[in-house]
C-alpha cells in the first residue's frame, strides 16, 4: 500500500500556504515522506500526494465515545491483575481499583482502560471467568458511584467484552487486533462500540521471539490495514476503529524507537491513533530505569513526542504528569491557552 509520513513542525503556530491539517486538528504539514511499493521513499509537497492519501491524512476523525479527537486524549490504565508488569497487585481489591479510577478521573483522564489479564512478555493466559470476575464488578461499581468517563475494557475475549459492556463499559481494546477470539469482532459490531485494534505477533507468551521485520514501520502499517479490513468485513463501522502499533508487543527496543520516531506514518490509514508506551521495558533500557515504577519521566517524554506526531490517544499510568506535560506542549507548540 502507499504510505506517507507527514513531516510535522515542532513550532506549529503558523501554517504556510498549501499546508494541510493533520486529521482535521491543529497540527499541519506541508511536506510528507511518500513510500510507494517498489520505490525509494521521497519527500513531496502535501499538494503532490496521491488524493486518497491526502484525504486520509487530513480528514477529521470521528469523535470517540463523545470525545472530539482534535487534541490528545489521555487514557488512564487500571490493571485489575496480580501480575501486570507495572501496577500488578495494587488494584486487585475492587475498592482500591475504584479509588484509583476516581483518582485518575480527577487528574484529568479522558478515558479509563480497565484490564483483567496481564499481556506483558511471557504472561500466561487468564481464564475467561476469572477475567470477568476481576473487571465487570469494578466497572459496575464505578458506574454505581456516578463515574461518567468513557470506560474501555482491555481484553482479547468476547465473553469478557460482553460482560464489561453490560456492566457499563463503552469501548473495547484488544491487543490481539481481533485475532485471538473469533467472536470478539461480532460482539463489537453488534454493540456498535469503538474498538482499538493493536498490532502484535504471536501471543504474550511467544511474541518476544517474533521480532523479525525488514521494515518495521511499513510492515506494522500493512498488518494494521489488514486487521482494519477484517474488522470492517465483520460489520464494525470505520468510524469506530482506532489503530495502535503495539509498542513492546513483538518488537525490540530499537523497533519501538523506530515506530515512535515514524509514528505519523500511521495517519495514512485515516483512523485515530493510540500510543501505549507507558513504563515499558524500552523506557527502562534507554532511560536507565530498571524498575517500571521509576519510568514515569521517560514515559511522559514519549507521550509528548507522540502528541507532537498527532497521536489522538495516549495510554498511560501517570495521568496527572502526562496531562501537565501535554498542556505545556500545547501552549508552546500551538499557543493553546495563551493569555
Footprint of ligand HH2 (CB under 6 A): 77, 79, 81, 84-86, 115, 118-120, 154, 173, 175, 196, 198, 244, 246-247, 274, 276, 315
Please say which residue, 123 or 142, places its beta carbon nearer to ligand HH2. Answer: 123
Nearest distance, CB of residue 91 and ligand HH2, angstroms: 11
Please say which residue, 149 or 224, places its beta carbon nearer to ligand HH2. Answer: 224
Cell numbers standing for residue 55: 484525504
Nearest distance, CB of residue 78 and ligand HH2, angstroms: 9
Nearest distance, CB of residue 302 and ligand HH2, angstroms: 11
What is the torsion angle, in degrees rounded to the nearest 10, for the CA atoms of residue 247, residue 252, residue 253 and residue 256? -30
Q: 296 and 279 in contact (C-beta within 8 Å)?
A: yes
Please say which residue, 72 or 246, places its beta carbon nearer to ligand HH2. Answer: 246
Nearest distance, CB of residue 238 and ligand HH2, angstroms: 18
Cell numbers standing for residue 277: 508506551
CA 246, CA 210: separation in Å to the nearest integer? 13
For the annotated catalytic residues, the residue numbers are: 280, 315
Please say which residue, 246 or 270, places its beta carbon nearer to ligand HH2. Answer: 246
3-state secondary structure of 282: helix
Residue 237 φ/ψ, nearest 5 degrees: -65, 145
Task: Give strand ranges (E) for 22-102.
Answer: 28-29, 31-35, 42-45, 73-79
Query: What are the beta bridge partners of residue 44?
Result: 32
Please say which residue, 79 or 100, places its beta carbon nearer to ligand HH2. Answer: 79
Nearest distance, CB of residue 236 and ligand HH2, angstroms: 16
CA 153, CA 157: separation in Å to the nearest integer? 10
Closest CA to 94 of 102, 86, 106, 85: 102
Closest CA to 5 of 325, 311, 309: 309
Question: Half-sphere exposure of residue 282, counting CA atoms within 13 Å on the CB side?
Answer: 20
Cell numbers standing for residue 83: 501480575
Amino acid at each position: 500500500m502507499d504510505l506517507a509520513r507527514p513531516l510535522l513542525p515542532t513550532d506549529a503556530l503558523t501554517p504556510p500556504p498549501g499546508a494541510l491539517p493533520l486529521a482535521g486538528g491543529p497540527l499541519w504539514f506541508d511536506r510528507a515522506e511518500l513510500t510507494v511499493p517498489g520505490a525509494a521513499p521521497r519527500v513531496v509537497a502535501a499538494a503532490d500526494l496521491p488524493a486518497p492519501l491526502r484525504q486520509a491524512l487530513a480528514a477529521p476523525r470521528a469523535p470517540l465515545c463523545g470525545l472530539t479527537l482534535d487534541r490528545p486524549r489521555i487514557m488512564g490504565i487500571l490493571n485489575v491483575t496480580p501480575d501486570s508488569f507495572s501496577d500488578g497487585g495494587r488494584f486487585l481489591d475492587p475498592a482500591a481499583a475504584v479509588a484509583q479510577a476516581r483518582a485518575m478521573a480527577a487528574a484529568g483522564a479522558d478515558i479509563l482502560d480497565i484490564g483483567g489479564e496481564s499481556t506483558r512478555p511471557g504472561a500466561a493466559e487468564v481464564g475467561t471467568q476469572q477475567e470477568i470476575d476481576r473487571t465487570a464488578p469494578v466497572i459496575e461499581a464505578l458506574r454505581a458511584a456516578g463515574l461518567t468517563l468513557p470506560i474501555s475494557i482491555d481484553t482479547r475475549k468476547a465473553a469478557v467484552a460482553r460482560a464489561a459492556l453490560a456492566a457499563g463499559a463503552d469501548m473495547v481494546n484488544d491487543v490481539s487486533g481481533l485475532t485471538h477470539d473469533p467472536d470478539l469482532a461480532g460482539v463489537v459490531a453488534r454493540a456498535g462500540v469503538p474498538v482499538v485494534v493493536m498490532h502484535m505477533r504471536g501471543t504474550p507468551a511467544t511474541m518476544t521471539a517474533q521480532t523479525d521485520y525488514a521494515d518495521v514501520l511499513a510492515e506494522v502499517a500493512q498488518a494494521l490495514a489488514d486487521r482494519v479490513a477484517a474488522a470492517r468485513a465483520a460489520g464494525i463501522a470505520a468510524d469506530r476503529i482506532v489503530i495502535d502499533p503495539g509498542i513492546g508487543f513483538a518488537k525490540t527496543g530499537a523497533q519501538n524507537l523506530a515506530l515512535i520516531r515514524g509514528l505519523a506514518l500511521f495517519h495514512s490509514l485515516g483512523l485515530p491513533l493510540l500510543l501505549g508506551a507507558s513504563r515499558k521495558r524500552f523506557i527502562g533500557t534507554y532511560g536507565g530505569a530498571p524498575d517500571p515504577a521509576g519510568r514515569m519521566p521517560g514515559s511522559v517524554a514519549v507521550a509528548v513526542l507522540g502528541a507532537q506526531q498527532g497521536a489522538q490517544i495516549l495510554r498511560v499510568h501517570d495521568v496527572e504528569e502526562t496531562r501537565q506535560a501535554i498542556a505545556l506542549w500545547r501552549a508552546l507548540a500551538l499557543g493553546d491557552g495563551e493569555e
